[in-house]
Structure 1
Amino acid sequence: MSDRLGVTPSQTVGPYLHIGLLWPDGPYVVLDDTPGAFWIRGQVFDGAGNPVADGMVETWQADPDGRFDHPDDPRGAQPPSVAGFRGFGRSATDAQGWYEMLTVKPGALPAPDGGTEAPHLNLSVFARGLLHRVVTRLYFPDEPANDADPVLRSVDPDRRHTLLASEAADGLRFDIHLQGEHETIFFAV
């Protein structure tokens, strides 16, 4: 009898997302009655253009002052300027691939090169067929700072639109395409 066990095979993200990783406050980065709060809603699509009904979208963002209450903020953790602001949200996709987050617009951030990053949200997407999460950014439409953002400028100009949200009745819409003709830009982090 051998002392060694075989390697456990890799598996893609599965239905456990709906069992163990969601909680009632998940899509609420801020409280319902927060001044200036708005919804970000969108659909997640697979490479064939079909909605991904068993996925999850997470967001991580700075507060309106461009600060994080987290030890990884190189300027030091600072409590948020908005009461109840968590900086983090998590939303499962529904049967039509829709996700949603209630949040406020983040402030600009200092860039590693000494410049400034435009206000944005970092998004992680977990879904069937993915061994690891994919990471993208959501930038705000008509934001003057977008033109100088070093990350956005590093993206092919013909593909930047995949990182820009669009106006919606009660906030913004941001669809995510995991593959295919309209594939969203993803970043290696």
Structure 2
Amino acid sequence: MVPFPGNLKESPSQTAGPYVHIGCTPNAVGIGGPYGEDAGARLVNDKTKGDRISITGRVIDGANAPLRDAMIEIWQADADGLFNSPLEKRGAADTNFRGWGRQAADGESGQFRFETVMPGQVPFAADRMQAPHAQFWIVARGINLGLHTRMYFPDEADANAADPVLQRIEPRWRVATLIASGARPNYTFDIRLQGENETVFFDV
């Protein structure tokens, strides 16, 4: 075996750096983009069906500090539990609901905010339904692979108790890391990357 040359240093890890924001949310970070509004800036319009809700939160690191350079995406079903996707075969989703949103965390507070609608239940298998939820994807400096998680609603206790995904989480106390706080129409969901009450992330 040839010894590793001492004059060669380890290459830096790949990282999202500022490039995610330059490419994905240029207007949000003040550099201007080809369009007046960043893709994913709005999930709803004035014709969207369903109960309007807001989801506000922060991405928090292991030192309990909010990440101010995170980018967060959200996916969810419409009020009837249908996805705005060509793969949706159960019926026609609300054409006035995008079903996907993207926000850059605020550069000072680290806060993100989505204006959306209360999602309907979606099937897990032929005879089982998932509780209403939103799926999150998070990327930031130092996060080499985007993190996937879910947010469930505290005022859907019965549906949450029967949710087949939540039922698989062990130890059971970690289920609470996926439940938002607040009540309709305003919810708060902080995503903790490490440490006490670390959010459950999914290998998707």
Q: TM-score range by the shorter chain?
A: 0.7 to 0.9
The one-character-per-residue Cα deviations of 1:49-84 (angstroms, maximum 9, x if unpaired) are 1110000110011111111131333xx174323x52
Distance between the aligned counterparts of 1:112 and 1:154, measured in 2?
15
Letter in 1 for 2:133: H
Match 2:110 to one of 74, 97, 121: 97
Residue 5 of structure 1 aligns with which residue? Answer: none
Letter in 2 for 1:11: Q
Distance between the aligned counterparts of 1:154 and 1:145, measured in 2?
15
Residue 12 of structure 1 aligns with which residue? Answer: 15
Distance between the aligned counterparts of 1:9 and 1:145, measured in 2?
45
Match 1:87 to one of 85, 99, 108: 99
Which segments of 5 or more consecutive residues in structure 1 lack a partner in the other structure? 1-7
Letter in 1 for 2:139: F
Distance between the aligned counterparts of 1:118 and 1:71, measured in 2?
22
Contact 2:81 2:121 in 1 (8 A): yes
1:154 aligns with 2:157: no
Letter in 2 for 1:186: F
Structure 1 residue 142, shift from structure 2 partner: 2.2
Structure 1 residue 170, shift from structure 2 partner: 5.2
Residue 56 of structure 2 aligns with which residue? Answer: 41
C-alpha root-mean-square deviation of aligned residues, in Å? 2.1
Distance between the aligned counterparts of 1:145 and 1:169, measured in 2?
16
Distance between the aligned counterparts of 1:36 and 1:185, measured in 2?
27
Distance between the aligned counterparts of 1:105 and 1:114, measured in 2?
22
Residue 138 of structure 1 aligns with which residue? Answer: 151
TM-score, normalization: structure 1? 0.86
TM-score, normalization: structure 2? 0.80
Contact 1:27 1:102 in 2 (8 A): no
Greater relative contact order (Cα < 8 A, sep 6+) = 1
Match 1:59 to one of 70, 74, 77: 74
Distance between the aligned counterparts of 1:28 and 1:174, measured in 2?
19
* Dislocated runs of 4+, deviation >4 Å: 32-35
Call closer, same or farther: CA 1:46–1:111 in 2, change over 3 Å. same
SS in 2 for 1:158: helix
Letter in 2 for 1:40: I
Give the share of equivalent positions with the same residue, in percent.
Answer: 46
1:28 aligns with 2:31: no
Structure 1 residue 15, shift from structure 2 partner: 1.0
Structure 1 residue 177, shift from structure 2 partner: 0.6
Question: What is the number of residues matched between the two proteins?
Answer: 179
Structure ID, larger Rg? 2
